[in-house]
């Protein structure tokens, strides 16, 4: 079997050696070359044409984000970022995902913990997915492009109360995909938006802050006890399940560190199960790009209540796993490209 070839990019010789050993421990992957900075990486990509790369952020000569922009514009290929859990590292990671990085893994607090079994399994799993993803070239203006919202949805709820809940689940490719959905929703939307994006603790706050700047809706990392308000987007914090509970006719968010569901915390399934328990059935379910099947069973439960379900189509997904698993359960009403999800949400609200 021909092994898929990986380029490892890091300014630390120690890290290059450890990551190389991890990659080479896989039966289907091998390191074809290493690079010590972004400029070196670009030269090595031209020389070796790897199937995917691992890319550090902070490096001399040319940092990872600068290199990533060039790579995605001129020689697009799957990129897995190595990210710090610091606030600055989280912000850089969100920028990297926006620029076109496929996914990321977090560096342990000590570099000597990089060779743990958990890190090894995560890196190999993500690289195995990455090498089979077709990456499209980024437009140089894409990041600065102003996203024009759809025409404003005319509120039928004149009292201004909560009319709908839109529940969105996503994973690999999600941060960038969400930027094609949330900024297109109008400010006076009669709905709370709930998002489960698979991310570790420390990164969802930066994602929420970035989305808030791009959107006319208010976007925040969910906090325990948050009351659901229309026109607000709540993103589940990393390492917490996000549930909705009803007390005295009011809906609020409950965060839990209960066991993982479908292998995840936060879990899309877990959120959808909590919505199924509500008396309120004014809900729209949305499943977007992501690896695995999280969300499929939860959305199937919602479908028992007649809830409309929207799925992202295969062509516009980075990874089709989560939408495909939901579609295979025959519970999806509309399968649409990413650029039509916002308009489909609005149409579903008008029913």
DSSP character at residue 333: S
**Residues with Cβ < 8 Å from 338, sequence gap 6 or more?**
177, 180, 181, 288, 289, 312, 313, 316, 317
Question: Domains (ranges, CATH) in the chain?
Answer: 4-130 (3.40.50.2300), 164-349 (3.40.50.180)
User: Tokens standing for 78?
Assistant: 């799957």
Q: What is the pLDDT of residues 86-112, one digit of tens each?
A: 788 889 999 999 899 999 998 776 555
* Distance, CA of 23 to CA of 18 (rounded, Å): 9
Residue 351 pLDDT: 66
Torsion angle in degrees (nearest 10) through CA of 266, 269, 272, 273: -110
Residue 223 has pLDDT above 50, yes or no: yes
Residue 194 pLDDT: 98
Q: What is the pLDDT of residues 185-210, one digit of tens each?
A: 998 888 999 999 999 988 999 999 99
Q: Where are the alpha helices (DSSP H) in 167-218?
A: 174-178, 204-214
Residue 281 has pLDDT above 50, yes or no: yes
Residue 142 has pLDDT above 90, yes or no: no
Known catalytic residues are 171, 198, 294
* Distance, CA of 219 to CA of 226 (rounded, Å): 13
Residue 1 has pLDDT above 90, yes or no: no
Number of H helices and number of E strands within the chain? 11, 14
The whole-model pTM stands at 0.88
- Mean pLDDT, residues 166-179 taken together: 95
Residue 112 pLDDT: 57
Residue 181 has pLDDT above 90, yes or no: yes
DSSP character at residue 9: E
Residue 158 has pLDDT above 70, yes or no: no
Higher-scoring residue by pLDDT: 250, 157: 250
Residue 152 has pLDDT above 90, yes or no: no
Higher-scoring residue by pLDDT: 117, 254: 254
Torsion over CA: 113, 114, 120, 123 (sign): positive
Residue 33 has pLDDT above 80, yes or no: yes
Q: What is the pLDDT of residues 106-124, one digit of tens each?
A: 877 655 566 678 888 999 9
CA angle (36 as vertex; 91, 129 as ends), nearest 5: 60
Higher-scoring residue by pLDDT: 329, 134: 329
Please provide the average confidence, as pLDDT, over all residues in the chain. Answer: 89
């Amino acid at each position: 079997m021909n092994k898929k070839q990986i380029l490892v990019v890091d300014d630390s010789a120690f890290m290059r050696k450890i990551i190389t050993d991890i990659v080479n421990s896989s039966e289907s992957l091998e390191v074809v070359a290493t690079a010590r900075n972004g400029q070196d990486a670009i030269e090595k990509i031209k020389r070796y044409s790897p199937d995917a790369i691992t890319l550090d952020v902070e490096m001399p000569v040319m940092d990872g984000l600068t290199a990533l922009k060039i790579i995605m514009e001129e020689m697009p290929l799957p990129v897995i970022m190595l990210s710090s859990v610091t606030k600055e590292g989280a912000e850089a990671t969100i920028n990297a995902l926006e620029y076109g990085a496929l996914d990321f893994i977090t560096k342990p607090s000590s570099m000597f913990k990089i060779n743990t079994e958990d890190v090894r399994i995560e890196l190999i799993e993500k690289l195995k997915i990455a090498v089979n993803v077709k990456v499209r070239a980024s437009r140089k203006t894409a990041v600065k492009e102003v996203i024009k919202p759809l025409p404003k949805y005319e509120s039928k709820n004149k009292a201004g109360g909560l009319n709908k809940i839109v529940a969105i689940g996503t994973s690999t490719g999600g941060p960038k995909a969400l930027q094609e959905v949330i900024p297109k929703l109008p400010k006076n939307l009669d709905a709370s938006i709930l998002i489960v994006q698979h991310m570790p603790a420390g990164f969802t706050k930066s994602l929420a802050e970035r989305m808030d700047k791009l959107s006319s809706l208010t976007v925040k990392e969910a906090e325990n006890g948050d009351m659901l308000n229309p026109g607000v987007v709540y993103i589940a914090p990393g390492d917490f399940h996000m549930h909705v509970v009803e007390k005295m006719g009011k809906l609020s968010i409950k965060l839990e560190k209960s066991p993982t569901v479908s292998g995840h915390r936060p879990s899309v399934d877990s959120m959808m199960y909590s919505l199924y328990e509500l008396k309120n059935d004014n809900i729209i379910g949305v499943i977007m790009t992501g690896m695995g099947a999280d969300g499929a069973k939860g959305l199937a439960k919602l479908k028992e209540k007649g809830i409309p379900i929207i799925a992202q189509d295969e062509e516009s997904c980075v990874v089709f796993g989560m939408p495909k698993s939901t579609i295979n359960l025959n519970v999806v009403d509309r399968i649409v490209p990413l650029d039509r999800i916002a308009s489909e949400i609005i149409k579903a609200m008008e029913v």
